[in-house]
Structure 1
C-alpha cells in the first residue's frame, strides 16, 4: 500500500488545498499565450473547412457502440478533409464566451487549453510526409520538417507495444499532444496537473469517436520514449513536453 499512497493521493480532489493558494492569476501576472508562437516564414498547409459531408457514420450512438482501439490499418490514404475534421474535433475553436474565454470542441478546466497538437503524417492525400503542428486559430498546419526514416523513428519512440508490435508506423498519421503546464498552473497552481491529465483524456476520446465517424480507427499510445520524442519535436521537456500519442488510420475492410 505504501508505494501507491502518493499516486493515489494525486487522483483525489484537492480543492480545499487550492482554496488556500494565491495563484499567479490572483497576483495579477499576465496570462500566458493560449497557443505557441510560430515562425511567420514557415510553410503552411491550408485545411479545408469542416462540414458534415466527410462523415460516413453520423450516428453518435453507433460511433460510441462500435469504437475500439484499432491497431491494424489499410494502405488507404486518409483524405485531407478527414484530417481537417479530426483536428477540428480534437482541438478546434468554436467561439468565445461572454468574458472572452476561448471555447473548443473539447471541455477543458478553466478554458486553459494547455495542449499543442503535433502530427507525424505518413499517408494523407495532398500532404507530404513529415512532421507538422496544428494551428487552431487559423485551422491550418504548420510544416516543421521532413523526417527521413520516419518509420524507424516512430518504432523507436513507441517502444515495445504489448499487443501488436510496431503497429504505429503503419498508421496514416500519429497525433502527438504536448502540454505547456503553465497555461493551467497560472490559474490553478499546484492543482493544475490532475486537471491536465483529465483534459487530455477528453481530447483523445473525441479523436476515437471522430475517427469512427469517418471509417478510420484510433489507438491511444501511453507507452513512448519521452526524451526521444521531446527532442525530435525540439521541446524543452520541462515547459513543454509530450503527454499522449494516438495512431490513426483507415480500417481494414
Structure 2
C-alpha cells in the first residue's frame, strides 16, 4: 500500500502548512489575468442571450435523479441557444465586483477560476466544425481553427475508452477544460492544486445537470492523451494544460 501514500496525502488538507507560507498575493505580486487574452482580429461568434426557454426539464429533482453518463448519441444537432446555455451553466459570469473578481455559475476556491474552456464542435446548428474557445467575459465564442478529420482526431485524443470505445467522436461537442494553475497558486500557493481538482468537479457536474435539463447527455472523460491535446491546442503543458474533458450530445432512443 506504500505506493498509494503520496497520492493519498495529496487528498488531505495541508492548511497548517499553508498558514506559514507567504503567498504571491500577500507579497503584492500582481494578480494573473482572469482570462486569456486574444487577438481582437480573431473571428468571434456572438452567442445568443442565455434564456430559460431552452430548458425542457426544469425539475431539479428529476435532473439529479435521471443524470447518467451518456455515451450513445443521436444524429440530432445541438442548437446554438443550447450551447450558449451550457457554456453559461459551466463558466458563465454572474457578477464582477470592483476588484475585478468574477463570480460564476459554479463555485470556485477564492473565485480564482483557473479554467479555460475549449470546444471541439462537430454538430451544432449554424456553427462550422472546428475548435473554439469560450470567452466568458464577453459570452462569445472565439474560432481557433478548422481540424481536418476532427472525428478521428477526437478518437486519438480520447484513447481507448473502457466501456464504449470511440463514443466521444459521435458527440455534438466535446468540452475540453484546461487549467492555468498560477491563477490559484497566486492566492493559495501549495494548497492550490487540490482546490483546482475539486473546482473542476463542480464545473463538470453543472454540465451534467444542465445537459439533462435540455434532454441531452454528457459523459466526463478522464482518459486522454495529455501531450497530444495540449500540443493541438497550443498549450505549453506546464503553465497551462488540459485537465478534463466531457462529451455532450442529444440522447439516442
TM-score when normalising by structure 2: 0.99
In structure 2, what is the equivalent of residue 240 of structure 1?
A: 240
Deviation string, structure 1 residues 112-171 (Cα, Å, up to 9, x no partner): 000000000000001000000000000000000000010110000000000000000000
Q: Which runs of 4+ in 1 moved over 3 A?
A: 97-100
In structure 1, what is the equivalent of residue 80 of structure 2?
A: 80
Deviation string, structure 1 residues 51-100 (Cα, Å, up to 9, x no partner): 11000101100000000000000000000000000000000000035755
1:110 aligns with 2:95: no
Give the alignment of 1:146-225 within 5 angstroms. Answer: 146-225=146-225
Q: Residues of 1 paired with 2:97 and 2:118: CA distance?
A: 27
Q: Residues of 1 paired with 2:136 and 2:126: CA distance?
A: 20
In structure 2, what is the equivalent of residue 91 of structure 1?
A: 91
In structure 1, what is the equivalent of residue 31 of structure 2?
A: 31
Task: For residue 27 of structure 1, report the CA deviation from its aligned partner.
Answer: 0.6
Q: Residues of 2 paired with 1:74 and 1:58: CA distance?
A: 22
- Gaps (5+ residues) in structure 1? none
1:16 aligns with 2:34: no
SS in 2 for 1:74: coil
- Gaps (5+ residues) in structure 2? none
SS in 1 for 2:103: strand
The number of aligned residues is 253
CA RMSD of aligned residues (A): 0.8
Task: For residue 252 of structure 1, report the CA deviation from its aligned partner.
Answer: 1.1
TM-score when normalising by structure 1: 0.99
Q: Residues of 1 paired with 2:97 and 2:12: CA distance?
A: 29
Give the alignment of 1:37-56 within 5 angstroms. Answer: 37-56=37-56
